[in-house]
Amino acid sequence: MRSRPTLTRREFVAAAGALLAGCANLPVPRAADDAAPRTTFSAAVPYVPTRPEIVQGMLDLAQVTKSDVVYDLGCGDGRIVIAAAKERGASGLGVDIQPDVIDHANAQAQYAGVDGRVKFMLGDLFTLDLKPATVVMLYLSVELNVRLIPRLKSQLRPGSHIVSNRFDMGDVWRPERSIVIGETPLHLWRVG
């Protein structure tokens, strides 16, 4: 049986520090029996729960309604997609690379009574079909956001909203609007 990838304390501290600095060039965890590290770039972003007021701010900034399909890329425990379904009547999909957070998200959706409108799955952000989404939520890094731009622009329909917690897309794609909640910036882009 393969062991699950884990971070050492030193790797975790480095990842947390780099996340705060917006850096995605971090050590990637590997299982003890792996000969080489996993190459999934998105593994460089540690799970950090989004505060409730930030979840509400992201939903408000995206103007989520019951007609929306909300995708959360790097969804963690699923709180954004669950809130979109429970409070706004939207449907949604959360994607992450960590099985334990996906299990937790599915349990939370069932507890919230929205498991019929939301789904959570293990997946790669860079191969996922984004076409059904009308809103995409991000809490990744500047580097990952920039790397996603071609997929976002080519797969999302005109008028679709993209909202990012904290990290923008550098000089590559300027946000249409940015707000600050507490000390946390939120950024909005609309696909043209």
Say what the pLDDT of residue 5 is: 47
Residue 156 and residue 97 in one domain: yes
112 in a domain, yes or no? yes
Residue 4 in any domain: the answer is: no
In a domain, 2, yes or no: no
Q: Do 89 and 136 belong together in one domain?
A: yes
Residue 126 φ/ψ region, left for φ over 0, alpha for ψ in the -120 to 50 degree band, beta for the rest: alpha
Residue 60 sits in which domain range?
A: 52-190
According to the model, what pLDDT value does residue 47 have? 80
In contact, 109 and 120? CB cutoff 8 Å: yes
- At residue 44, the pLDDT reads 57
179 shares a domain with 96: yes
Q: How far is CA 140 from CA 85, 87, 137, 144, 177, in A?
A: 22, 24, 10, 6, 18
| 73 & 102 share domain | yes
* 3-state SS track over 9-76: HHHHHHHHHHHHHCCCCCCCCECCCCCCCCCCHHHHCCCCCCCHHHHHHHHHHHCCCCCCEEEEECCC
Query: Do 95 and 38 sit in the same domain of this protein?
Result: no
Provide the pLDDT for residue 46: 76
List the chain residues with pLDDT less than 50.
1-5, 7-9, 12-42
> Does any domain span residue 40?
yes
- Tell me which amino acid residue 190 is: R
* Residue among 28, 23, 27 nearest 38 (CA): 28
**pTM for the whole structure:** 0.78
Q: Would 3 be classed as within a structural domain?
A: no
Domain with 99 in it: what CATH number?
Answer: 3.40.50.150
In this structure, what token pair is assigned to residue 130? 């984004």
Look at residue 111 and tell me if it is in a domain.
Answer: yes
For residue 121, being part of any structural domain is answered with yes
**Number of independent structural domains in the chain:** 2
